[in-house]
């Protein structure tokens, strides 16, 4: 912790010294808007309970929970440029406008059963620090991460609630009032794209942590017999995504900047004049003439930040003149493939552009995006495999391959396809076992499920079903033994009273169930002997 504090203090001390030494700090205003999630767990639990009760009372429609809102935001940033990064100090002001804070549950007749009309909106104001890494060339892309802390506040929060009988009679009617004042914190990251040195577009996302207790006053309007005050938890925590406009103000005027050119110049007025002429030629697209002028300014003024920057811009334009048509054609083809979601083909063309122009921002942007998407889809596929969702994982890994990931993704695809083949075979055998089981062919069902376990020894359902089939076989064997014993006893009784036909039928039935029953075999032999001895000559009629 001590080391972390020392590093943090060093950063701020270095930033302070840099802000005094360096003269190109900036101030900007950000105007953003977007969507934000909110938890509001206590309120949403209350809505769930109310909906359950209403359902029991045959109320047709449910009350809506609070889960999101729209978030306009305005920020004031002071940016300190250091040799390594930009350190920003900012004041954040958000207004969270909650959706679905008014909701109605209705009886089947269309009459209101329960009405809630609330104002859960809240302001947030906080101070924060932001670390940024910027590209000094057009289109001036800046990536940043920031943390701020402050207060969520609102002094007019209220909620009106009323319940009604199905006939329309009022049960109770109340109004709750409270003021919100709870701590809050935001962690955010994003990217700013400056179209020029003044106007730009920003995109960011993050997470807000804001939860606390509020004192609620409950006013009875009609029929309320409950408490008149309570302590409730409000939770505005949630993810957010915003986009908006950036207006940048350079604290140092352009005249002051250009005045710096004269500091180390042998001929102060001349170097500034030549620089302005070179800049004018550059803006007109006359890059070769601009290069000649900026070299003249460099000879007179030496190493100057503005001269070096303009010289680099001119060199970039000059180096791209001979290949601009080819790059334009390649980029157009690549973009067409990208729009058609043929990312592998698009990737080849973007790489071709990079081989010609290693600093091409458009090609580099999409190649980086493809790499990130490939990793994202690959990781998603791995996660889905771990959860047994093989078909979905196959789609993700195929998309990772399309984005350009090769060996890792190909290996994973082969692994998934092998598992899918085994899974399909396993499912076929499993279902055949189910069919056998339903027909009462329990031994055949067991054989099918044992084949399933050969493929997947951890298949719990197959193991469980084998146990069920074994129980069924045991039950059948017990029932069969009971029937056999009963029929043997009945055969003996028939035999003892001389009803040999009845005894024979019972014994034959037993032998159909159990062909090796010796007792019935012996009884049949004895009956046949007796019948032979008692056989008399039969005289047939004409």
CA distances from 474 to 138, 442, 447, 477 (A): 81, 10, 16, 5
pLDDT higher than threshold 50 for residue 109: yes
pLDDT at 4 (0 to 100): 46
Q: What's the pLDDT band for 160 if we cut at 50, 70, 90?
A: very high
State the Cα torsion 472-478-479-485 to the nearest 10°: 160
Max mean pLDDT among 138-152, 169-183, 349-363 falls in 169-183
Residue 257 phi, psi (nearest 5):
-60, -50
How far is Cα 373 from Cα 377, in angstroms, rounded to an integer?
A: 6
pLDDT at 180 (0 to 100): 94
The answer for residues whose C-beta is within 8 angstroms of residue 136's C-beta and 6 or more apart is 309
| CB burial readout 445-472, b (16+ within 10 A) else e | bbbbbebbeebeeebeebeebbeebeeb
pLDDT per position as a tens digit, 312-331: 887 877 666 556 777 887 78
pLDDT at 402 (0 to 100): 81
pLDDT at 194 (0 to 100): 86
pLDDT higher than threshold 80 for residue 244: yes
pLDDT higher than threshold 80 for residue 541: no
Across 242-251, average pLDDT: 86
Residue scoring higher pLDDT (486 or 233): 233
105 forms beta bridges with: 114
Mean confidence (pLDDT) of the chain: 82
36 forms beta bridges with: 69, 240
Which DSSP category does 109 fall into? T
pLDDT higher than threshold 60 for residue 267: no
| CB burial readout 16-30, b (16+ within 10 A) else e | eebbeeeeebbebeb
pLDDT at 19 (0 to 100): 45
CA distances from 61 to 43, 166, 171, 304 (A): 18, 13, 18, 71
pLDDT per position as a tens digit, 416-474: 777 777 767 777 878 888 888 888 787 787 787 777 777 777 778 877 878 887 777 77
pLDDT at 138 (0 to 100): 56
Which tokens hold the place of 288? 């070769």
pLDDT higher than threshold 70 for residue 396: yes
pLDDT at 417 (0 to 100): 75
Residue found under tokens 């049960």: 171
Roughly how many angstroms between the first and final C-alpha of the chain, as a whole number?
Answer: 124
- Nearest of 81, 446, 440 to residue 252 by alpha carbon: 81
Residue 443 CB neighbour total at 10 angstroms: 11
Across 23-38, average pLDDT: 88
Residue scoring higher pLDDT (288 or 382): 382
pLDDT higher than threshold 60 for residue 542: no
18-250 is a CATH 3.40.47.10 domain: no
Least confident range of 5-14, 194-203, 352-361, 363-372: 5-14
pLDDT at 342 (0 to 100): 86
Residue scoring higher pLDDT (304 or 86): 86
Least confident range of 20-24, 497-501, 505-509: 20-24
pLDDT higher than threshold 70 for residue 373: yes
pLDDT higher than threshold 90 for residue 412: no
Residue 188 phi, psi (nearest 5):
-145, 160
Across 357-371, average pLDDT: 87
Helix (H, G, I), strand (E, B) or coil at 453: helix
pLDDT at 10 (0 to 100): 47
pLDDT per position as a tens digit, 117-128: 999 999 999 999
Q: What's the pLDDT band for 18 if we cut at 50, 70, 90?
A: very low
pLDDT per position as a tens digit, 33-71: 999 999 999 999 999 999 999 888 888 878 999 999 999
Q: What's the pLDDT band for 540 if we cut at 50, 70, 90?
A: low
């Amino acid at each position: 912790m001590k080391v972390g504090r020392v590093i943090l203090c060093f950063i701020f001390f270095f930033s302070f010294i840099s802000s005094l030494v360096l003269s190109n700090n900036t101030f900007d205003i950000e105007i953003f808007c977007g969507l934000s999630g909110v938890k509001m767990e206590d309120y949403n639990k209350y809505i769930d309970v109310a909906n359950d009760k209403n359902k029991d009372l045959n109320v047709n429609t449910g009350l809506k929970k609070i889960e999101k809102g729209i978030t306009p935001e305005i920020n004031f940033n002071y940016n300190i440029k250091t040799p390594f990064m930009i350190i920003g100090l900012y004041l954040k002001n958000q207004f969270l406008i909650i959706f679905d804070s008014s909701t109605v549950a209705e009886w089947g007749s269309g009459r209101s059963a329960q009405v809630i009309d609330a104002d859960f909106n809240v302001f947030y104001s906080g101070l924060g620090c932001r670390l940024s890494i910027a590209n000094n060339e057009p289109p001036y892309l800046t990536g940043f991460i920031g943390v701020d802390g402050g207060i969520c506040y609102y002094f007019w929060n209220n909620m009106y609630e009323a319940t009604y009988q199905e006939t329309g009679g009022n049960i109770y009617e109340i109004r709750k009032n409270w003021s919100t004042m709870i701590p809050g914190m935001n962690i955010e990251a994003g990217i700013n794209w400056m179209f020029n040195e003044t106007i730009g577009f920003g995109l960011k996302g993050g997470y807000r942590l804001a939860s606390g207790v509020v004192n609620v006053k409950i006013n009875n309007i009609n029929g309320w017999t409950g408490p008149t005050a309570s302590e409730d938890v409000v939770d505005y925590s949630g993810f957010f995504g915003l986009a908006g406009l950036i207006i940048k103000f350079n604290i140092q005027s352009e005249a002051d900047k250009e005045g710096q050119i004269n500091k180390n110049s042998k001929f102060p007025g001349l170097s500034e004049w030549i620089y302005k002429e070179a800049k004018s030629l550059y803006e007109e697209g006359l890059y070769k003439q601009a290069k000649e002028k900026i070299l003249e300014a460099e000879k007179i003024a030496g190493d100057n930040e503005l001269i070096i920057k303009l010289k680099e811009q001119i060199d970039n334009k000059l180096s791209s003149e001979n290949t601009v048509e080819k790059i334009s054609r390649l980029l157009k083809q690549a973009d067409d493939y990208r729009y058609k979601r043929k990312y592998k083909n698009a990737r080849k063309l973007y790489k071709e552009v990079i081989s010609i122009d290693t600093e091409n921002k458009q090609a580099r942007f999409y190649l980086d995006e493809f790499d990130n998407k490939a990793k994202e889809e690959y990781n998603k596929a791995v996660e889905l495999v771990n959860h047994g969702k093989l078909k979905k994982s196959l789609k993700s890994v195929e998309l990772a391959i399309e984005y350009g990931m090769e060996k890792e993704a190909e290996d994973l695809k082969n692994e998934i396809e092998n598992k899918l083949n085994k899974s399909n075979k396993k499912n076929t055998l499993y279902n055949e076992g189910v069919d056998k089981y339903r027909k009462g062919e329990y031994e055949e069902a067991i054989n099918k499920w044992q084949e399933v376990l050969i493929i997947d020894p951890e298949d719990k359902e197959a193991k469980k079903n084998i146990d069920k089939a074994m129980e069924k076989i045991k039950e059948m064997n017990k029932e069969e033994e009971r029937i056999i014993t009963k029929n043997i006893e009945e055969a003996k009784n028939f035999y003892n009273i001389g009803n040999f036909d009845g005894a024979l039928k019972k014994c034959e039935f037993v032998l159909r169930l159990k062909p090796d029953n010796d007792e019935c075999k012996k009884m049949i032999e004895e009956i046949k002997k007796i019948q032979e001895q008692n056989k008399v000559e039969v005289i047939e009629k004409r």
